[in-house]
Amino acid sequence: MAPRVVVLSLASDFGCQVQLSNMTDEILDVLGLIDLSYWQLASSGHMPDAYDVAIVEGAVTTDEHVALLESVRATAGVVIAIGACANTGGIPGLANLLDLDERYGVVYGDGDGPRVAAGRRAPMPLDSVIAVDYHVPGCPIDPPEFLRVLSRVLLGLKNRVPDLTMCASCKINETVCFFDRGELCLGLVTRAGCGARCPSLNRPCTGCRGIAPDANLVAARAISIASGRPEGALDDALRIYNTAKEVRG
Amino acid sequence: MARLTVEHVARIEGHGNITVNVESGEVREVRMDVVEPARFFESMVVGRRYDEAPLITSRICGICSPNHVVTSIKAIEAALGVEVSERTVMLRKLLVYGSYLQNHATHLYILAAPDYVGLPSVFPLAETMPEVVERALRLKKLGNDLTTAVGGRQVHPVSAVVGGFTSEPPREVLASYRDLLLGVVEDAMATVELFASFQVPDFQTSGEMLALTADDDYAIYDGDTKALDAGWRRPASEYRSFLDETVVGHSNAKHSTVGGRPLLVGSVARANINAHMLNETGRAALAKSGVTLVTRNPFHMNVLQAVELADASARCAGYVEKLLEMGGSSAPEPVAVRAGVGGSATEAPRGTLYHSYEIGADGVVLHGDVITPTAQNLANIEADMRAFAPTVADRDEPEFAVLIEELVRSYDPCLSCSVH
């Protein structure tokens, strides 16, 4: 029997779900292999009581999200976290840098604000609440990588996330290092797997895939300073995608 | 009596609930609760370097990220006094149109069409009407490929930065898009015919309509804001002087009004205001659409998006032609950091998008402000539901529900955008 799959989103821009819908060459084949039971973005219908695989996008930012994730974990055999928000807290995680009430005031002013915004929490990745079985990092996800992970899920193979840093990809691509031109690039410490898309388009890595497990941050800071960047520049740039992880420790 | 509560309305971007309650012809309650959680983007850009702001605000929306990137970049360039090359402008137009092709194809076929054929999603049509699904995927794919060729990725473009582009597609790749774009004109026309064949309610919105307008183009990338009813035309950068935002209790997105009235932005407003700028293909598509302008029917958003698809395919082929002829460079212009304030707008697929920033002398953002198209539409969506619901309250429950949801979906709402 084809696994029953649900696609869910927490606080996000829906960009990773858009990437799922963007797999125009593969989507019909994928749909032939799974039983797509719930996908609010693409289909009417209610969230079923039973399902096998949950694909979750977005950061945890409300008490409702926590309750939803707990029920997802209790129901699904497999949870796949897709995108930076779900994996590192991503850009919503930047909100951890200021007091939440203060941020609320910047957006909604001094009045009461919306009632529906109650129960808000500091933005965090999924694994702050539940165990996650498979990870597809990136902002947004790369469809080929998602398909590789989905294949592993369908075949029952273990989660496997590349743990090299982006520098390895740039070497393969023969991309000239940004540090040689005095530009800061987060590829030095960021998890590989996207083929170093941004550096190959002449833009330094912004760290959307999260910090690689073996990243040498001490050496990276020294390289950043040696290339003429001010002290703290590397850590400050890393905060765009990694604040929630940094705050959680 | 007709009652409707829909939680997490399907086939729209983001999370929203609809409540409609009509008793003996009288509307007791109408609400569009936007429960999508706030991510507080305006506070997140504060304290970041000016060149990081477009990267961050792009993540407001995964569907129209090219618009957020380009609008943000233009606002920052206005604040810092950066002039960009004609080549950069042309490439940015292609980038924004790439997101139009992708978005309109997605909205029309995947989100809206199932309502009109009585299906929960478009996927079952792959069996019964494969040619329709294949056409949808072709259009969507071309939009994605165009965005990827110009911006480096379908969602959240990489190469568009303050001052220009970090890289450009090779000439032969760019050239290939001329024929690819002309190749989908037929698909776009078939889309117009398909949506013209769907019966839509005869309903008139009472809201004002706003869209960008320009003297030399169907305004997407730049222009002044024009009000259809009031007749005024004002610099888009001054949007805070004509758009008022109010915090409402049941929505994490603020509601907008213009001169105290709800307003509609998107394809209906654009077509009403800018039909004279449609190209030949667009005019032919409009003739096929069965819509006579000026229209005040929000259900016409769908077929007019299809008209824009036709116009855009031919228009973008022309942009490619110009880029191949014009030469010049899109390499980022040098930026002299200074203190400044700048605002800008583009037309996103679902309506006008405004960004503005205040930047300090050290290049750090002091203040950011974003008003998205769906935030502008929300008050009008509720006003429309209020006026429309009693006219269809005698229908049986499933039909009532579909009609109300159709109305909401016509606006192509993006709730993540609206809250941001």
How far, in Å, are A87, B140, B150, B166, B370 from residue B143 at the CA level? 28, 5, 11, 21, 25
Query: Among residues of chain B, what percentage have pLDDT more than 90?
Result: 94
Neighbouring-strand partners of residue A143: none
The DSSP-derived string for B189-215 is: HHHHHHHHHS--------SEEEEEE-S
Peptide bond into A140 cis (omega under 30): yes
Contacts of B102 in chain A (CB under 8 A): 22
CA distance B35 to B266: 22
**A242–B contact, CB cutoff 8 A:** no
- ipTM of this complex prediction, to 2 decimal places: 0.95
pLDDT of residue A28: 86
**A172–B contact, CB cutoff 8 A:** no
Q: Which two tokens stand for residue B126?
A: 């792959």
Name the least confident of A34-48, A90-104, B44-58, B125-139.
Answer: A90-104
Q: Count Cα neighbours of A88 within 13 Å in the Cβ-side half-sphere.
A: 28
Interface probe for B, chosen from A13, A27, A239 (most Cβ of B below 10 Å), is: A13
pLDDT of residue B176: 98
CA distance A132 to B75: 40
CA distance B308 to B279: 10
Q: Assign domain B2-418 one CATH number from 1.25.40.10, 3.40.50.300, 1.10.645.10, 3.30.830.10.
A: 1.10.645.10
- Those residues whose C-beta lies under 8 Å from the C-beta of residue B272, and which sit 6 or more positions away, are B209, B211, B228, B293, B294, B295
Q: What is the pLDDT of residues B52-79, one digit of tens each?
A: 999 999 999 999 999 999 999 999 999 9
CA distance B195 to B108: 8
Mean pLDDT calculated for residue range B273-300: 98
Contacts of A13 in chain B (CB under 8 A): 59-62, 65, 416-417
pLDDT of A115 > 80? The answer is no
CA distance B415 to B172: 38
How far, in Å, are A205, B141, B151, B166, B216 from residue B145 at the CA level? 22, 6, 10, 18, 27
Interface probe for A, chosen from B13, B59, B99 (most Cβ of A below 10 Å), is: B59
pLDDT of A247 > 90? The answer is no
Closest B-chain CA to A119: B37
Name the least confident of A44-48, A55-59, B135-139, B387-391.
Answer: A44-48
Q: DSSP character for A233?
A: H
CA distance B274 to B283: 11
pLDDT of residue B86: 98
Contacts of A17 in chain B (CB under 8 A): 62
CA distance B259 to A85: 38
pLDDT of A117 > 70? The answer is no
- pTM above the 0.95 mark? yes
Judge: A102–B43 Cβ closer than 8 Å, yes or no: yes
CA distance A107 to B369: 9
pLDDT of residue A118: 64
CA distance A19 to A232: 34
Q: Which two tokens stand for residue B68?
A: 């957020």
CA distance B74 to B36: 28
CA distance A15 to A9: 10
SS3 at position A78 = strand
On average, the pLDDT of chain A sits at: 93
pLDDT of residue B395: 93
Confidence of residue A245 (pLDDT cuts 50, 70, 90): confident
On average, the pLDDT of chain B sits at: 96
Q: What is the pLDDT of residues A132-180, one digit of tens each?
A: 999 999 999 999 999 999 999 999 999 888 889 999 999 999 999 999 8
CA distance A93 to A84: 10
Neighbouring-strand partners of residue A56: A8, A81
**A199–B contact, CB cutoff 8 A:** no
**A158–B contact, CB cutoff 8 A:** no
Output the CA torsion A3→A8→A13→A15 (10° steps). Answer: 0
Judge: A18–B167 Cβ closer than 8 Å, yes or no: no
Name the least confident of A105-109, B153-157, B158-162, B362-366.
Answer: A105-109
Residue contacts between A and B (CB atoms, under 8 Å): 179
Q: Which sign, positive or negative, has the C-alpha torsion B99, B101, B103, B106?
A: negative
* Residue extents of the structural domains in chain B: 2-418
Q: What is the pLDDT of residues A182-234, one digit of tens each?
A: 899 999 999 999 999 999 999 999 999 999 998 999 999 999 999 999 999 99
pLDDT of residue B49: 97
Beta strands B208-213 and B263-264 are parallel
Beta strands A53-57 and A78-82 are parallel
Amino acid letter at B284?
A
Q: Which two tokens stand for residue A175?
A: 């991309």
pLDDT of B200 > 80? The answer is yes
Closest B-chain CA to A207: B55
Is B408 within 8 Å of B360 (Cβ atoms)?
no
- Report chain A's C-alpha Rg in angstroms: 19
CB atoms within 10 A of CB A25: 10
Mean pLDDT calculated for residue range A126-132: 98
How far, in Å, are A86, A162, A177 from residue A212 at the CA level? 16, 8, 18
Judge: B39–A19 Cβ closer than 8 Å, yes or no: no
CB atoms within 10 A of CB B214: 15
Is A62 within 8 Å of A120 (Cβ atoms)?
yes
Interface probe for B, chosen from A9, A10, A14 (most Cβ of B below 10 Å), is: A14
pLDDT of residue B18: 95
pLDDT of A242 > 70? The answer is yes
CA distance B88 to B288: 34
Place of tokens 């899920």: A153
How far, in Å, are A54, A86, B116, B125, B133 from residue B199 at the CA level? 37, 41, 8, 19, 20
Mean pLDDT calculated for residue range A55-78: 97
pLDDT of B177 > 70? The answer is yes
Beta strands A4-9 and A35-39 are parallel
Query: Among residues of chain A, what percentage have pLDDT more than 90?
Result: 78
Confidence of residue A113 (pLDDT cuts 50, 70, 90): confident
Taking the CA of residue A201 and the nearest CA in chain B, the distance in Å comes to 6
